[in-house]
Structure formats: C-alpha cells, structure tokens
Amino acid sequence: MKISLYTMNDLKLVLAIIQLVEKECNLVNKLKVEKLGEIRSIIEEVFEDKVEDMKLARGKTWYKGVEMPYFHMSFMLESSGLYILDILPESITALTNENIISARYMLEKLVKTLVEKYIA
C-alpha cells in the first residue's frame, strides 16, 4: 500500500490517495452494504470511538473509459472526525477533517484491518 496525502491549509481537510497492491485490490469486491453493523464495529475498534453516522453504498463507476466496481463508505465519529472513502479496485480516495498525521495513521490502520478481515 502506498499513501499520498495532501492538505489544504485554509480548510481543515486532508485528501488521501491510497494505492492498493496485490490482494488489497480485491477489497472493493469483498465489502458488502449488508455488513453495515460489522463494518461499523471494525471502525469503532480501529478508531477507539463510537460511530455517530455511517453510510455505505455499492455500485459501478466509470473512469477513463473503464467501468469498474465501486464502494462508498462515509462515517462521522462522536469526536467529530469525518471520513469519506471511495474504494475502487486499485485505489481508495479519502477525505477527512482530521490532521494529516492522524489521517495517515488511521487510514492505514483501517485499510489494513479491512483487508485482514475480508481478504486474508
């Protein structure tokens, strides 16, 4: 996994682009909307915080002439941390209102945990 992070100083917003490799690329196919409770529990364990609001959606996206599976996950924590993830076969785009150091650590921990749970 390779993570690139960008911050916008006048906004408290971090954009992360996570490049998935090898078996991680199958994550988009393994996540299911029906597993909302299970995924919520994983998020609460990883972030050590309660999920206040959560949305999951599955569909297809079109990028540069290629149609591919797509999984959307967004959640707000009781601590007001907001995470929005768009998961594709080879990458994840994430937005968060957390600081850049915390964002890197937490996103890496979340993706590793999801891969261990649904792919390993």
Range of the domain at 87: 2-118
CATH of the domain at 21: 3.60.90
Nearest to 40 by CA among 5, 69, 83, 70: 83
Note the pLDDT tens digit of each residue in 43-85. Answer: 999 999 999 999 999 999 998 999 999 999 999 999 999 999 9
Note the pLDDT tens digit of each residue in 88-117. Answer: 999 999 999 999 999 999 999 999 999 999
- Let me know how long the chain is: 120
pLDDT score of 10: 66
Q: How many CB atoms lie within 10 A of CB 27?
A: 20
Note the pLDDT tens digit of each residue in 23-42. Answer: 999 999 999 999 999 999 99
Total domains present in the chain:
1
Q: How many CB atoms lie within 10 A of CB 114?
A: 22
Give one DSSP letter per residue of 38-71, joined into a string.
HHHHHHHHHHTS-EEEEEEEEEEEEETTEEEEEE
Dihedral sign for Cα 47, 86, 4, 95, please.
Answer: negative
pLDDT score of 22: 92
| Separation of CA 89 from chain center | 13
